[in-house]
Amino acid sequence: MARMKKSFIALVFILIAAALLLVLIPRPDRSGLHRLEFSAPGLKPVLQEPELSLAKKVKMDRHIADGQVLHFKGSGILTLSPEIRGKKGIFFTFQAVATDSGKIRTSIYLDRKGKLIKLKTYLGHSYYHSFFREMKLMKQDRFRIEVQGNGILVANRPVIYDIVDIDKRKYVFVIALDTLRYDKVGATRNGVDLTPHISEFRRDCCEFTEAFAQSNWTLPSFMSFFTGQYEFNHQITRNSSLSADNPFLSRDLSKRFFTVNFNAGLWLKGKFGFSRGFDLFSVLSSPKDSLGGKVMFAQALDFLKRIQAPSVFMFLHTYQIHSPYAPPEKFLKQVSEQSEYKKLDSFFYKKQFKNDVAPNLRLAMETLYDAEILAFDRFFGDFIRSLKDLNIYDRSMIVFLSDHGEEFYEHQGWAHCHSLYNEVIQVPLFIKFPGFRFKGKKIWENVGLIDVLPTVMDQYRISPNPQVDGLSLMPLLKGQAWDREQLLSSTSVAWLVRQIPPKLSLLRNRFKLIYNFRFTPEDLDYFAEFGTPPEVDDIQLFDLGKDRSEVSELTGKEKVRQLNHFRSELNRMKKTIAAVMKRKRLKNVTLSEEEKEKLRSLGYL
């Protein structure tokens, strides 16, 4: 009996020791992705993109985040030691820039037991490339990058991935159509359905009927999307980059996914911080193109056909329907046989408000916008069909959204960036889950773009950053309690037109409050040439259940009753925004000629 007791105690100790080992010993990475570091004498990490401007000596037209920078004179060598065997893929992006009038030669070798096998050579004064190769690696293999010339080489962290069959891969797509109003999905123009393919996709999704952007123009809105933070918390401006201390959720996603970003640039450039966490960050050549969606999807499909990684996260963005409206003629003819115009700029800064607008001009603007949507819808449908043909669609998580909407003079203004009415901040948000989970489900609670990536992370069990304001939408989808009483949208630190003062919007159930900071006389003078902004109260309250168009403000006792529900949060937000703006002195922005030209192409100048 004593011997049995001793054996039992020994067994208990063995089990406890085994359990401790399981907890304490790091588990192997099951993602199939391995991110490695280059080594070289004097190699420095890249922390923030603007500081990557080659010590202010050489202009960088590309931005590689989370990477390393090698300054060299005459020559430089980087080495990579994978210590991984088997059939693998290797991928990294790099930029070489000469600091004199000469050229840089970059040669990539495989060092196999001391024998150098040349894989690729690049030559030029300045270039940006992706090195992409799938091959069988042996244990002692090394990669060697030799650089000759005088300049700087910047490379992101190489990713080596397992090659897996397509039926074992995971895909997440975020398709972001800039400037799409929520009410345009399923709408018609002269009997023509503007979004037949988006509507068909919508039926495979769960739909968030009350989804709102956290700001009213592209830069702060997408920064809120990627950080999960309100705009006065991420504090991005037109002439700043995201602080290194701020969360950027694509970095967290990169722990499980090969991350890809195809975007139309301008406000989504790497210099603001948008390249962080992406293995491939590619800016389309033209921000505004009548075939922008088609070009974007073509690039995405080309890459998907080449990459055999176990998991891919892909962000796809286009300005195709953004002003100036210039749709392909065949789509314009479908929505209007006798369109008054074939192209129109919707606004530039001072013309955003206009006191006298002819009905035919408003109709012409919206007709062109609708034709742009019809064209994009065709390209979107082709892309979805290709995903199905590649056997990718069913297993994918696909998010369709926009960063803001567009006004067509509903509240005496054009376009966006000036107000927080629904036509500007309510956006479509459809999510197709793998295996069509939650298909057909509709969520009526107020949700934001800050909630999207936390939801993706929740789906794939990636821990969220504690600094985010966003919440996972999974509890709502599962019918569980959700911890948010009010949703905020604002424009304060991240202004586009400096003369438009800050605004904030609070949503609580079906009620919406807009708080308008006051114009100064000097600010109003800025717009006087074309038309001054409409006069509005400091506080506007709407019952969206009865008044979706926000034309009839609550008054009297009902306004007082609802204001009491908002008062505490409103006062807190007013103080928060005022403090942030006082602390962050905004400077005048100096734009390069290239940036000015791109702003003109989108109608901003």
CA distance 559 to 552: 12
Residues 532 and 432 reside in one and the same domain: yes
Confidence (pTM)? 0.90
Residues 225 and 134 reside in one and the same domain: no
Where a domain ends, among 130, 162, 194? 162
Residues 441 and 535 reside in one and the same domain: yes
Looking at the structure of the chain, the number of domains it has is 2
Give the mean pLDDT of 563-592.
79
Which pLDDT band, with edges at 50, 70 and 90, does 599 fall under? low
Looking at the domain assignment, is residue 137 inside a domain? yes
Helices (H), 472-532: 474-477, 521-527
The string of DSSP letters for 317-345 reads EE-TTSSSB---HHHHHHH-TT-S-S-B-
* Statement: residue 51 has pLDDT above 50: no
Token digits of residue 501: 């003062």
CA distance 573 to 561: 20
Q: Is-contact 251 156, C-beta < 8 A? A: no
Looking at the domain assignment, is residue 28 inside a domain? no
Per DSSP bridges, beta strands 311-318 and 170-177 are: parallel
* Statement: residue 5 has pLDDT above 60: no
Looking at the domain assignment, is residue 360 inside a domain? yes
- The SS3 assignment for 23 reads helix
Residue 126's φ and ψ, nearest 5 degrees, are -155, 130
Residues 209 and 130 reside in one and the same domain: no
The CB density around residue 295, as the number of other CB atoms within 10 Å, is 18
Q: Residue-wise over 458-478: b if at least 16 C-beta within 10 A, else e?
A: bbbebebbeebbbbbbbebbe
The position carrying tokens 């999510």 is 431
Bridge partner residues of 123 (DSSP): 105
Average pLDDT over the chain, rounded to an integer: 88
* Statement: residue 47 has pLDDT above 50: yes
Bridge partner residues of 472 (DSSP): none
The continuous run of DSSP H or E covering 208 comes out as: strand 206-212
pLDDT tens, residue by residue, 415-451? 899 999 999 999 999 999 999 999 999 999 999 999 9
Q: What is the CATH number of the domain that holds 61?
A: 2.60.120.260
Residues 205 and 64 reside in one and the same domain: no
CA distance 268 to 250: 14
Give the mean pLDDT of 320-327.
92
CB within 8 A of 430, min separation 6: which ones?
Answer: 201, 202, 205, 206, 207, 208, 399, 400, 401
* Percent over 90 (pLDDT), the chain: 66
HSE-CB for 250 with a 13 A CA cutoff: 27
Position 572 scores a pLDDT of 94
CA distance from start to end of the chain? 91
Q: Is-contact 491 502, C-beta < 8 A? A: yes
Residues 420 and 283 reside in one and the same domain: yes
Which pLDDT band, with edges at 50, 70 and 90, does 24 fall under? very low
Residues 89 and 177 reside in one and the same domain: no
Looking at the domain assignment, is residue 388 inside a domain? yes
Which pLDDT band, with edges at 50, 70 and 90, does 53 fall under? very low
Which pLDDT band, with edges at 50, 70 and 90, does 348 fall under? low
Q: Compute the radius of gyration of the chain from its Cα atoms.
A: 26
* Statement: residue 588 has pLDDT above 60: no
Residues 135 and 191 reside in one and the same domain: no
HSE-CB for 576 with a 13 A CA cutoff: 17
Range(s) of the domain holding residue 504: 171-601
Give the mean pLDDT of 278-283.
92
Token digits of residue 181: 């109003």
Token digits of residue 210: 């009350």
Looking at the domain assignment, is residue 245 inside a domain? yes
Cis omega (within 30 of 0) for bond into 324: yes
Token digits of residue 214: 């956290």
* Statement: residue 584 has pLDDT above 80: no
Q: What is the CATH number of the domain that holds 412?
A: 3.40.720.10
Which pLDDT band, with edges at 50, 70 and 90, does 262 fall under? very high
Where a domain ends, among 162, 190, 219? 162
Residues 327 and 426 reside in one and the same domain: yes
Looking at the domain assignment, is residue 204 inside a domain? yes
Looking at the domain assignment, is residue 12 inside a domain? no
Residues 387 and 290 reside in one and the same domain: yes
Where a domain ends, among 129, 162, 195? 162
* Statement: residue 344 has pLDDT above 50: yes
Looking at the domain assignment, is residue 11 inside a domain? no
* Statement: residue 26 has pLDDT above 70: no
Residues 176 and 156 reside in one and the same domain: no
* Statement: residue 29 has pLDDT above 80: no
Residues 243 and 97 reside in one and the same domain: no
